[in-house]
Amino acid sequence: MLRRRLTRLFGGDERRVDSRTIYVGHRPCPATEAFIPPKFCDNRIVSSKYTVWNFLPKNLFEQFRRIANFYFLIIFLVQVIVDTPTSPVTSGLPLFFVITVTAIKQGYEDWLRHKADNEVNKYLVTVLEDGLRTRKESEKIKVGDVVEVVEDETFPCDLILLQSSREDDTCFVTTASLDGESNHKTHYTVPDTVKDLDSLNATIECEQPQPDLYKFVGRMHIYRNDHEPAVRSLGPENLLLKGATLKNTEKIYCVAVYTGMETKMALNYQGKSQKRSAVEKSINAFLLVYLCILVSKALVCTTLKYVWQSKPGQDEPWYNEKTQRERDSNLYLKMFTDFLSFMVLFNFIIPVSMYVTVEMQKFLGSFFITWDKDFYDPEIQEGALVNTSDLNEELGQVEYVFTDKTGTLTQNNMEFIECCIDGFQYKYRDAGTELDGFCVTDGPVSKLQQKAGREKEELFLRALCLCHTVQVKEPTGQLREQVDGLGLGLGRGRGLGLGLGLGLGLDGEGLPQEEQTGFIASSPDEVALVKGAMKYGFTFLGLESKNMKILNRNNDVEVYELLHVLNFDPVRRRMSVIVRSKSGDTLLFCKGADSSIFPRVRQEEVERIRMHVERNATEGYRTLCVAYKQLSEDEYAQADAGLREARLALQDREERLLTIYNQVETGMSLIGATAVEDRLQEEAAHTMEALQGAGMKVWVLTGDKMETAKSTCYACRLFQRGTELLELTVRTLEEGGRKREERLHELLLEYHRKAVQDAPPVKAGGVTSWSTANQDYGFIIDGATLSMVLNSSPDSNSSLYKSLFLQICQNCTSVLCCRMAPLQKAQIVKMVKNSKGSPITLSIGDGANDVSMILEAHVGIGIKGKEGRQAVRNSDYAVPKLKHLKKLLLAHGHLYYVRIAHLVQYFFYKNLCFILPQFLYQFFCGYSQQPLYDAAYLTMYNICFTSMPILAYSLLEQHICMEILLDNATLYRGIAKNGMLRWGPFLYWTLLGIYQGLLFFFGVRYLFSNPALQDNGQVFGNWSYGTIVFSILVFTVTLKLALDTRHWTWINHFVIWGSLAFYVFFSFFWGGIIWPFLKQQRLYFVFANMLSSVSAWLVIILLIMLSLLPDILLVVFRKPRGPRAPQMAAVTPLSYKHLKERE
């Protein structure tokens, strides 16, 4: 690991050399050459943070980076070294407790990561060595090893496909854990590799490891005896990525090209760093203010002590003569030790126990999320999961939500809805009126029972059955025997369902449902279209040695020879097939986006179909247009020659193919259009609307195609009908025929003018522009263009591009980023996270491709979806469904933030009240470091007397009922941008603490102007003075919390009144017994004597009422504000538990 990092840091081999050479099977090529094996990294994956050796120093270093922990360590050392008024135990014990608990928690989390790494690294794989199959651990695979992978196995590293058990030399792969797409993708073997891999002599020359999942460039030199080496080009279609899974293919053989931390999956993995909440940063800022107050107090007292002692007779009075040693000591050293003693005496102004309370509040508070019954999903029989309790309050501060699409916003479940043929709409109904397999609907069309001609219908259905890359799933074992027994003489019974996709006839009875749904495709909408054609009587039976078979309405099998597939790409936004029928006709069928098809067909045909396409698009359906063209022999011969030549090119292969595709796909006839629905997650649109209502900006980051993602954004109401879309994709950059860089610069400036310069300013705290009458903007960018924006060439102004891009995005209602590599998702999150104002970001996803952005965001949320559990394992919180995000943020997040903000302010306030009288007391005791309070009170104040009420408050308080928080998303904005922990509220709490501290001290001093307060004329001493002040203090700060409590439960009552009762009981008990282990007992019967004085009772009650007067007046005269204000101010009678259980 260290060597690898150093090489990267100081520019090792990978920076000097642009490519690497790999010897297949570690054999020299040609055999006569000397063989020096190149060095590459091993196949170990490391995601853990600590090792056994560095855990203690590294963890302690991370913990002592916290200002508070470091401060308490210094104070503890001072108490140990210098003779101070208080014991080292008072600061050492809480510090040790916090450090130990945190270390155990972080150590356990890292142990789980080690365990997960070992599962991957120790996984057994089959490797071919000298013609023998050997099993070895995954971490021992080396670059150049030939690996055997069987069906449903995950690839152990990045591999080049050499051989497949399928006859057509392909294999099928799912990359759900990499890019979120759970569809099957087809990969191809390298042409001309020999069947016997033992005799294969070949080298692979390819690029150095890089994180882009969709890019790979290489070539393979195949050496044969006495022949020139054959050179074959390698592309992404030959590369199998680590983390992907082999499907529908019995067995394949591959060669390892990238291993371990150099695989594309590992390069896309973002290391796990310790996340810190905004509240913690506020605590640190407040802590610095209180540290300044502390140092100021200590300096003032030290200075005044030596000023006072400089007066004659004050330094050495007759009753307190100095020893010779004291006279000889260094004056400056004595001043410094006095300063440290004052620091320790006033040290309690820094709330040491706050950190313990905050840790407990976060840990115990997280249980309320896991216990919430609304998060329970009966389908997977699981509820919410909390992996990191440190970030509960961040859930109430989110400003940007970054969400994955596939499996998060959608169920990834496409369904054929309707189609339009020659301008007539056809909508399938199971129990509807069926006319030749069609049910015709949609207004006047259904009334007139009009249809397109039968010939057009059949042509359209043939196009759906032929224009795709769908494969029929191969049945296995017992099922294969059943299929062989059934012929293709199929009856068109009611059960002509998905069984026909397997070549099964009759009703498909006796077969499990999953075996009947036997289609595999790179895109789920392709399967939906093939199944849609089946509903109307045209069934695709499969591809056998370049022959496509379909079963038509008359139960006849039609066979077409597949000549060429013109693959889909995001620039063309269409795909075509060229087929030859039995009659010898050469046909081109094409399907694609309307904007891509309409300019290539006869314009008189467009208007008949445009209306249907636009209506379907506004309903959120995915629309595709279908066209065809009959090719003459000359046209086909020219296209065939051009395609073959372009596919062999090593340079500019894509550009050459694109030119040929565009030449062929012209002058077509438009047949019709289809509408397919990608089912949204339950309540997805409602959830997105609520998040936007709460003032959050939603960005969709997906590896999927732009068209799919765009229709999903419309369906989720992220884009509205009136939203103007600003598109920055490869397609828009190539319009105008200029350089991409120039076009990018021009578009960014144009969009910036529209969205930023010409847009009216939004008032702070007002409703964002998406809900006003102003023009809404939506922004769309793809991965390739994003790379240009973030990593511009050195001569261009990269920071300007990034700044323009960010400003445009921040002024748009929603942003869609498609064709994103996992690392690009993290880059986007990081860019927004580090932008002006440091907004709080949240990422939510369900696949391993989302892990990087989940780790990068302030809060990462995993969805317990169908794509493995990597996102859940790496997240801070996990929920079963997207809809649960609404309650997690708007209810739980809101309440957690309000609770912890109140906890933090309250702790600083009560400690200021506590230590201010101690400071004022020094002016009346000759700055002698005499404590005002007894040592027991000093230790117990934060630990016992005042800690439990605030802990209960911070766990149970509901200043607004949960139902109201969910109904009024705008309430979330009231606490946005750390609203309750800004300097304004902090100043209010500090002034309140100063007011009450002054009142306690001088109120009691006024009482002591005549110290004979008992009937027998005895006077009260200094410990009685301190005890009266302390009693008023404890009652005031506890009752202040009672006044702030809006949601009373029996626990609140128990801890508030119980704490006060415990203080009274402890004071009687502590002062009522002679304790043998104490050298001096300062409080012996002091508390009982104090309570025997009526004057003391009067002052205690009077000062408590005067201290709480500002709060009482504030509650009485402050008018409730905001929506549904009466409910906000009302005390909620329901307990937290009852609230959850109420239906």
Q: Does position 590 have pLDDT exceeding 90, yes or no?
A: yes
Query: In which band, very low, low, confident or very high, does the pLDDT at 30 lie, cut at 50, 70 and 90?
Result: low
Of the listed ranges 366-380, 600-614, 701-715, 777-791, the one predicted with least confidence: 701-715
Residue 624 to residues 529, 670, 708, 716, 773, Cα–Cα distance (Å): 10, 11, 11, 20, 32
Average pLDDT for residues 833-844, to the nearest whole number? 88
Of 210-214, 525-529, 737-741, the range with the lowest mean pLDDT is: 737-741
Q: Is residue 505 over pLDDT 80?
A: no
Q: What is the pLDDT of residue 506?
A: 28
252, 247, 253: which is closest to 476 by C-alpha?
247
Contacts 24+ apart (CB under 8 A), 598-607: 598/625, 598/670, 600/627, 600/665, 600/666, 600/667, 600/668, 601/627, 601/668, 601/669, 601/670, 602/667, 602/669, 602/670, 605/669, 605/670, 606/670
Taking only the tens place, the pLDDT of each residue in 77-129 is 888 887 776 667 767 777 787 788 778 878 887 888 888 888 888 888 999 88
Residue 940: what pLDDT?
78
Q: What is the mean pLDDT of residues 872-879?
A: 83
Among 500-504, 759-763, 969-973, name the one with the lowest average pLDDT.
500-504
In angstroms, the CA 704 to CA 710 distance is 10
Q: For residue 975, is pLDDT > 90?
A: no
Residue 175 has what pLDDT?
77
Question: What's the pLDDT tens digit per position in 293-303?
Answer: 888 888 888 88
Over residues 801-815, the pLDDT tens digits come to 888 888 888 888 889
Position 1130 pLDDT exceeds 70: no
DSSP H helices in 377-486? 444-448, 454-466, 478-485
- Tokens coding 928: 């002698």
Q: Give 446-469 as a DSSP string.
A: HHHT----HHHHHHHHHHHHHSS-
Is it true that the peptide bond before 1011 is cis, omega within 30 degrees of 0? no
Q: 731 pLDDT band (50/70/90 cuts)? A: confident
- 22-26, 128-132, 825-829: which is most confident: 825-829
Give the pair of three-digit tokens for residue 309: 């002692």
Please check the confidence at residue 256 and state whether its pLDDT lies above 90.
Answer: yes
**What are the structure tokens assigned to 739, written together?**
């350089």
Residue 129: beta bridge partners? 132
Mean per-residue pLDDT, 478-492: 36
Cβ of 1026: how many Cβ atoms within 10 Å?
A: 23
Given this model, what pLDDT does residue 497 score? 32
pLDDT of residue 1017: 61
pLDDT at 517: 47
Angle at 205 between CA 202 and CA 209, to 5 degrees: 130
Confidence of residue 995 (pLDDT cuts 50, 70, 90): very high
Question: Is residue 685's pLDDT more than 70?
Answer: yes
Task: For residue 318, name the pLDDT band (cuts at 50, 70, 90).
Answer: low
Q: Residue 391 is encoded by which pair of tokens?
A: 């970030």
Residues counted in the chain: 1143
Residue 786: what pLDDT? 85
What percent of the chain has a predicted confidence (pLDDT) above 90?
9
Provide the pLDDT confidence category of residue 761 given band limits of 50, 70 and 90. Answer: low
- Looking at the DSSP bridge assignments, the partners of residue 204 are 22, 220
C-alpha 972/C-alpha 765 separation (Å) is 11
DSSP string, 1094-1129: HHHHHHHHHHHHHHHHHHHHHHHHPPP-STTHHHHH
Q: Percent of the chain at pLDDT above 70?
A: 79
Query: In whole angstroms, what is the distance from residue 12 CA to residue 5 CA?
Result: 10
Which of 462-476, 561-575, 1066-1080 has the weakest average pLDDT?
1066-1080
* DSSP sequence for 915-983: HHHHHHHGGGTTT----SS-HHHHHHIIIIITHHHHHHHHHH--SS-HHHHHH-GGGGGGGTTTGGGSH
User: Residue 658 corresponds to which tokens in the numbers above?
Assistant: 């694109």
pLDDT digits (tens, 9 = 90+) for 241-252: 988 889 888 889
> Could you report the per-residue pLDDT of 518-560, keeping only the tens digit for each?
777 767 778 888 988 888 888 888 877 678 889 888 888 889 9
Residues with a known catalytic role: 404
Q: Which stretch, 611-615, 772-776, 779-783, 933-937, has highest mean pLDDT? A: 779-783
The pLDDT of residue 793: 56
Mean pLDDT of 580-594: 89
pLDDT at 9 (0 to 100): 40
Q: Which two tokens stand for residue 720?
A: 């509205």
pLDDT for 435 equals 37
Classified as helix, coil or strand, 289 is helix
Looking at residue 1096, its pLDDT comes to 79
Residue 439: its pLDDT value, please? 41
Q: For position 254, what pLDDT does the model report?
A: 93
Mean pLDDT over the full length of the chain? 77
Q: What is the pLDDT of residue 132?
A: 84
State residue 1018's pLDDT score: 64
**pLDDT of 966:** 85
Among all chains, which residue has been given the structure tokens 């050997």?
134
Read off the pLDDT band of 771 (50, 70, 90).
Answer: very low
* Owner of token pair 């592309």: 235
**CB burial readout 959-991, b (16+ within 10 A) else e:** bbbbebbbebbebbbbbbbbbbbeeeebeebbe
What is the model's pLDDT at position 504? 29
Crossing angle (nearest 10°) for helices 524-535 and 454-466: 150
For residue 1107, give every residue at least 6 positions away whose Cβ sits within 8 Å of its Cβ, in sequence order, or none: 995, 996, 999, 1000, 1032, 1036, 1040
Q: Which of 431-445, 606-620, 765-779 has the lowest mean pLDDT?
A: 431-445
Provide the pLDDT for residue 482.
36
